[in-house]
């Protein structure tokens, strides 16, 4: 049983610092390094280019870019350029996106359609085709890339926490990414939705990589680790404030008082409003959607994910002290040896 490990970073730190961390992640054994395409942080493809020049083995890509703020034709150009620079190590994470869309005046209400049409356009352009596309969301007229990409088959992953996006992944993508897919009902939702759509499209479900994208804090004091994680749960809940889909699917009920406060909070990276509501996040919410606690606790969850069909665990690292590097190190040095021992004996 092969389980890949991925590292997700937010481009919120100076690029040289992140590049050093990425090089260290490669040395530790991570398979993939993903960079969030978040507005309005450092530009994703420029930063990934520096990562490519700092590494030799890991795959690199955005997690995720959206089909709105950057036209998919430009995404095809950008990911093919990164693939050339990285010597064939690029991967493309595609999703609805959330950050910056309101500021840019973008309506992303039909994101599954836009993702489907965007993937179609990217693949055809990478293959060297001249394309005219008049879709419901994406249009492109008689255009092509003016150079031949090194690889037409750059892997494309779709990130979604909704059924429509997961079905697009099953029908078209090489992988499906779901944030917070830790609790068994969430893993089952991801697996069954993606695999069901793959079968309907005549595809082999086993060829689609299922990725659990999880915030992680490895620390021997589980309560302290949970407290670090609570503000991130506020952000996740706020982004789903219409129906709290991920949490409801996990079998959780958002307390009424908390739900009312969350409905007045927009998606933000401002820590102040997140911390203000953090004490109201129950432990079971943290435990359902994040890898939090001592190495043995985290390892048991990762083993369960692997046995449930998850192909990659992608962590977004947080730490009680010492910065995210602490979790990046401990996950590979202390968690993954326990996982491999349990899976392989």
Q: Mean pLDDT, consecutive 10-residue segments, the chain of 345 residues?
A: 93 97 98 92 96 98 92 97 98 79 62 93 98 94 96 97 95 98 98 98 97 98 97 92 93 93 80 90 97 98 98 98 94 98 91
Specify the CATH number for the domain of residue 334.
3.20.20.30
Total number of domains in the chain: 1
Residue 279 located in a structural domain: no
Q: Residue 166 and residue 210: Cα distance in Å, rounded?
A: 10
pLDDT for res 248: 96
CB-count exposure of residue 92 (10 Å: 0-12, 13-18, 19+): buried
Q: Residue 2 and residue 16: Cα distance in Å, rounded?
A: 32
Residue 242 located in a structural domain: no
pLDDT for res 263: 84
Residue 228 located in a structural domain: no
Q: Residue 71 and residue 79: Cα distance in Å, rounded?
A: 12
pLDDT for res 269: 72
Residue 334 located in a structural domain: yes
Residue by residue, DSSP assigns 227-264 as: HHHHHHHHHHHHHTTTT-HHHHHTT----HHHHHHHTT
Q: Domain containing 24: what range?
A: 4-222+291-344
Q: Residues with Cβ < 8 Å from 44, sequence gap 6 or more?
A: 11, 35, 36, 37, 62, 65
Residue 266 located in a structural domain: no
Element (H, E) at 134: strand 131-134
Token pair listed for 307: 């046995």
Element (H, E) at 60: strand 59-62
User: 211 - beta bridge partners?
Assistant: 177, 312
pLDDT for res 1: 65
pLDDT for res 104: 56
pTM for this model (two decimals): 0.95
User: 199 - beta bridge partners?
Assistant: none
Residue 284 located in a structural domain: no
pLDDT for res 239: 86
Residue 274 located in a structural domain: no
Q: Token match 């970073």: residue?
A: 9
Residue 218 located in a structural domain: yes
């Amino acid at each position: 049983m092969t389980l890949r490990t991925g590292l997700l970073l937010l481009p919120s730190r100076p690029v040289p610092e992140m590049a050093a961390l990425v090089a260290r992640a490669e040395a530790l054994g991570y398979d993939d390094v993903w960079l969030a395409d978040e507005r309005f942080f450092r530009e994703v493809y420029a930063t990934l280019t520096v990562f490519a020049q700092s590494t030799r083995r890991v795959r690199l890509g955005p997690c995720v870019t959206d089909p709105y703020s950057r036209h998919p034709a430009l995404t095809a150009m950008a990911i093919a350029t990164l693939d050339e620079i990285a010597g064939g190590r690029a991967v493309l994470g595609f999703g609805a996106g959330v950050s910056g869309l309101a500021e840019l005046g973008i309506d992303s209400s039909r994101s599954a359609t836009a993702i489907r049409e965007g993937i179609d356009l990217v693949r055809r352009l990478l293959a060297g085709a001249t394309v005219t596309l008049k879709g419901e969301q994406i249009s492109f007229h008689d255009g092509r890339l003016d150079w031949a990409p090194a690889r037409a088959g750059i892997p494309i992953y779709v990130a979604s926490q909704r059924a429509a996006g997961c079905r697009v992944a099953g029908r078209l993508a090489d992988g499906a990414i779901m944030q917070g897919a830790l609790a068994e009902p969430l893993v089952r939702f991801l697996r069954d939705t993606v695999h069901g759509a793959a079968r309907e499209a005549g595809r082999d479900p086993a060829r689609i990589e299922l990725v659990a994208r999880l915030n992680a804090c490895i620390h021997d004091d589980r309560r302290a680790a949970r407290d670090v994680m609570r503000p991130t749960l506020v952000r996740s809940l706020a982004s789903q404030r219409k129906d709290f889909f991920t949490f409801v699917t996990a079998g959780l009920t958002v307390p009424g008082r908390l739900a009312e406060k969350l409905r007045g909070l927009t998606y933000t990276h401002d820590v102040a409003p997140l911390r203000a509501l953090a004490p109201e996040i129950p432990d079971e919410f943290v435990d359902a959607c994040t890898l939090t606690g001592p190495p043995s606790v985290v390892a048991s969850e990762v083993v369960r994910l692997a046995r449930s069909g998850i192909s990659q665990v992608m962590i977004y690292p947080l730490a009680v002290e010492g910065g995210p590097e602490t979790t990046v190190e401990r996950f590979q040095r202390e968690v993954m040896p326990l996982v491999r021992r349990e899976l392989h004996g």
